[in-house]
Structure 1
Amino acid sequence: MFNLKVSASVLAIAAVSATAAAARDEIRVVGSSTVFPYSQAVAEQFSNMIGAPSPIVESTGTGGGMQIFCGGIGEQHADMTGASRAMKSGEFELCQTNGVTDITEIYFGSDGLSIAMSRAADFDWDLTLTEIFLALAAQVPVDGAWADNPYTTWNQINPDLPEVSILAYGPPPTSGTRDAFVELAMHAGCEELDFVKDGGFDSDWVSANCSRMRTDGPFVEAGENDNLIVQRLQADANAMGIFGYSFLFENTDTLKAVQIGGVEPSVDTIASGDYPVSRPLFVYVKNAHRGVIPNLQEFVEEFVSEDAIGFGGYLSERGLVPLADARREQTRDDSINAVTFTME
């Protein structure tokens, strides 16, 4: 949880930091593969509007982006990083150690973690969180004991499911998507098991025993490029992919969603909370670079503009689920005025 406090004005930040960061021409944004298409869309819109060089946007994963972003102050270091989860305490400490002591956190919208398949699949999939856990976890209950996962086909988990091999492509451990999927899907599915409920196991036990994805074939780490997962699904009608809703939204011509508990991911079900696997999206800004890196302040303002993150904005056209009006206005004010945060 973060305690917010208002920093010095942007002009004061620029004056203080003028010697810390040289004025390279392009803004540099790193981070989450889920946030990447939103950052890229803002970069393209911004460049078209002002005629300046387009910001350089790199998909490094949430964890990788934090490492780059927190590396230090100066033109060799990134100005912003996207994240599909909040910054962790260890990442915050890394930033502080390297002199990145004034950061603005921008919570700009929400996203659902989608499980998708090729439209060529002839079965309408609807899975529970428990079935997802039993298919993809490294260890599950077997004959009353916690053991290595023996399941190889979906019908072994539920006879109503097809007799097809379990195969899911998903993000690596450095990805915020992986972190969110483990917490929101794997932990939740594990907690619903009779083995866990009847055994009286607490959240610490669940975290320690239900977080590992299997490594024997049915779950395949596909890297930080979600487009590669989309390509693999298009080539295999029985394979599933795990990625942010925006990638499903952009590929509905070839992909369809796997329902979870009878609910399909959509802007409405994610916003309402009916879809059980949803998460907030963030961008972090290095305030020492505002007023020093050309156009960074203006780029932040465009990122949180109503045209971008509002209902009907160009990011919602790419799958972003907008914040409620009051929360969106607060995000806009905090972002433009360089509000900083500290960790409890």
Structure 2
Amino acid sequence: MVTGAAHAAAARDYISIVGSSTVYPFSTVVAEQFGKTTKFKTPKVESTGSGGGLKLFCAGVGVEHPDITNASRRIKKSEQELCAKNGVKDIIEVKVGYDGIVLGQSKAAPTLELSRQDIFLALAKMIPGPDGKLIANPNKTWKDVNASLPATKIEVLGPPPTSGTRDAFVELAMEAGAKKYDDLAKLRGSKDEAEIKELMAKLGIPESAFDKKGKKVFQAVAHAIREDGAFIEAGENDNLIVQKLEANPQALGIFGFSFLDQNADKIKGAVVDGKQPTFDAIAEGDYPVSRPLYFYVKKAHVGAVPGIQEYLAEFTSDKAYGEEGYLSEKGLIPMPEAERDQFRKDSESLNPMEAL
């Protein structure tokens, strides 16, 4: 049964989609195809970032709220709870494929070969000093990070905290780099309060940062990006990052592989842990900084806003997100067939996701 609020959504005759800037180009292509080949209007797709999109999506049911939100990370438990609190109870989760997170460079610059430890040492707010205690990051150039790297200034343009790309980057690159330090790795795995306090003292982490889960204290260190100008927040506009990389070939930019793929005439990806960010390396799980992409649908709006179920059918068709589908031409890394089939079935039956 559709709620009264959802009935109001019938006043809108197009699908409203918000969310991830990484999923945006894929969603836009599907929306355009959908508008051309069906009787329905072309959905309106806005790029708000994953966190921003989920906030809008979870605000309520009805015409003033979006029907679908794209996300370059999985919905968080706290976001699912916010949705439930605001009456958004049946959420359909659709995983669309995979993407790599790239440290892009101008094609005019020599290719940087970095480890995830190098990335952590370049961008973390606090890093282990000579005595093992955390200190404010003193590294000004890549050579300061690793003697084998060039003496060029560290300047990395990246997404804001509301971005799913930022969430995935700190988890996949920064955390992996931080774990190379024994005391930080031990802290991450500890659930023993005495050991956590001992490791915090050893690392010089103030007692006020204590948590019963060592992983949370570890993440506070590993996820904190420096704020002294070496990392520059470039908003959700990946095109702006490309322009800046062209203007300053020594700078790096953080964005999804699909965006690199679409701008291969201007930019290239740095090597990470010996692996180039290529379609095959991401598909085979060899490139270390890669993540799944999703979108979320309000079941309450299906039938109230025209075309939602048909849009789902278009997006999850083999011609769109299959191995030879038109989205792979745009840089989406397809899921294995069994996984694609499962998400297609769940979207056809409007099967809501379980509570996290």
User: What TM-score range do you get, normalising by the shorter chain?
Assistant: over 0.9
The one-letter amino acid of 2:179's match is: E
Matched ranges for 1:152-163 at <5 A: 152-163=140-151
- How many residue pairs match? The answer is 331
Aligned to 2:107: 119
Q: Which amino acid aligns with 2:57?
A: F
Question: What are the equivalent positions in structure 2 for 1:281-300 lying under 5 Å apart?
Answer: 281-300=293-312
Query: What's the TM-score, normalizing by structure 2?
Result: 0.89
What does residue 6 of structure 1 align with? none
Equivalent in the alignment of 1:55 = 43
- Distance in 1 (alpha carbons) for counterparts of 2:8 and 2:84: 15
Aligned partner (choices 70, 82, 86) of residue 74 of structure 2: 86
Gaps of 5+ in 2: 188-194, 200-213
Residue 120 (structure 2) pairs with residue 108 (structure 1) = no
Q: How far is 1:342 from its partner?
A: 2.4
Rounded to whole Å, the distance in 1 between the matches of 2:17 and 2:79 is 17
1:210 to 214, 217, 222: 222
- Match among 17, 33, 37 for residue 25 of structure 2: 37
User: 1:341 matched to which residue of 2?
Assistant: 353
The reply to whether residue 278 of structure 1 matches residue 290 of structure 2 is yes
Q: 1:276 to 1:110 in 2, by over 3 A?
A: same
Distance 1:333 1:197, change over 3 A: closer
CA drift of 1:291 comes to 1.1
Tell me which residue corresponds to 2:231: 219
Cα distance in structure 1, aligned partners of 2:135 and 2:180? 17
Pairing of 1:214-293 with structure 2 (within 5 A): 214-293=226-305
Give the direction of change, closer, same or farther, for the CA distance of 1:93–1:30 in structure 2 (3 Å limit): same
CA distance in 2, matches of 1:225, 1:15: 36
Q: 1:230-253: CA deviations, max 9, x gaps?
A: 111111100100011110010000
Q: Secondary structure at the match of 2:9?
A: coil
Give the CA deviation at 1:20.
5.1
Are positions 1:141 and 2:128 aligned together?
Answer: yes
Q: 1:291 to 1:18 in 2, by over 3 A?
A: same
Q: Write out aligned runs for 1:158-197 (5 A).
A: 158-194=146-182, 196-197=184-185
Offset of residue 53 of structure 1: 2.4
Aligned partners of 1:60 and 1:15: how far apart in 2?
27
5 Å-filtered alignment, 1:305-316, equals: 305-316=317-328
Rounded to whole Å, the distance in 1 between the matches of 2:231 and 2:130 is: 23
The CA deviation at 1:267 is 1.8
Asked whether the equivalents of residues 270 and 276 of structure 2 are also in contact (C-alpha less than 8 Å), the reply is yes
The AA in structure 2 aligned to 1:170 is: G
The alignment partner of 1:341 has SS state of coil
Q: Normalising by structure 1, report the TM-score.
A: 0.92
Instruction: Rate the CA distance shift 1:326–1:198 in 2: closer, same or farther, 3 A.
Output: closer
Q: 1:300-330 CA distances to partner (integer Å, 9 max, x unpaired)?
A: 1111111110011111111111011111001
Point out the more displaced range, 165-174 or 264-273: 264-273
Question: For the residues of structure 1 that align with 2:136 and 2:169, how far apart are their CA atoms?
Answer: 20
- Ranges in structure 1 where 5+ consecutive residues have no aligned partner: 1-12
Higher relative contact order (CA 8 A, sep 6+): 1
2:308 aligned with 1:317, yes or no? no
Aligned partner of residue 95 in structure 2, secondary structure: strand
Across the aligned residues of Structure 1 and Structure 2, the Cα RMSD in angstroms comes to 1.7
Structure 1, 191-200 or 104-113: larger mean CA deviation: 191-200
Question: What residue in structure 2 maps to residue 3 of structure 1?
Answer: none
Q: Is the partner of 1:19 in helix, strand or coil?
A: helix
- Say whether the 8 Å CA contact 2:10–2:306 is kept in structure 1: no
Whole-Å separation in 2 of the counterparts to 1:99 and 1:232: 42
DSSP 3-state at the match of 1:231: helix
